[in-house]
Chain A
């Protein structure tokens, strides 16, 4: 069975601080995909990034960066110089690679990030 754990339920920072959101996963599959989603107060989940299990390169997109470490089964997300607009619930998710049908996601519990001015 697959499992995703986001141990940090809530994080509160002051604007311009860097913040890292942790994600640890469990799977028996050798091929899988990892995702991060952002859920602002409006409610809609917004896709941020997808990573497949064979690509361990870290990725940077503006103030966002992701650190994928297969050895520790972790896929952590860092926001540099946080802003108030980054306040949201962030979800890490895992999906198996299926040959014949759609990919289903297993989500972590989510981390509520609050960035204070």
Chain B
């Protein structure tokens, strides 16, 4: 079974702090994704990566950056946290193939910015 592990379930930070959210997958997947989930808005893609050191912006990249130095690890960085970044953050991974493969999700990190 694919395991996607997010470093924290709950996190509380202060406005202006630099925040790191870590995600690790154990199935050698090429693709990794970061989403945020807000009530009434579903999941929105922040960034994704299809290879080490490669990244692409999703639908809402402003205020975020990412890092993928190793295939199994994909980090989301809030450069200067703001209260409107309080949300549930979900990491996912998938195998790359012509037939789009399902994404496998972590348990999520509920981030509160005070």
Contact = CB atoms under 8 A, between A and B. Distances in A.
Nearest to B90: A45
Interface of B: 30-31, 33, 35, 40-45, 48-51, 54, 56, 58, 88, 90, 92, 94, 96, 98-108
Nearest to A44: B107
Interface residues of A, number: 30
A99 to B, nearest CB: 8
Contact of B107 (A6, A42, A103): A42
Interface of A: 4, 6, 9, 33, 35, 37, 42-47, 50, 52, 91, 93, 95, 97-99, 101-110
B30 A102 contact: yes
A103 B105 contact: no
A88 B18 CA distance: 33
Nearest to B59: A106
A47 B88 CA distance: 19
Contacts of B33: 102, 104-105
B42 A91 contact: yes
A104 B42 contact: no
B103 A108 contact: no
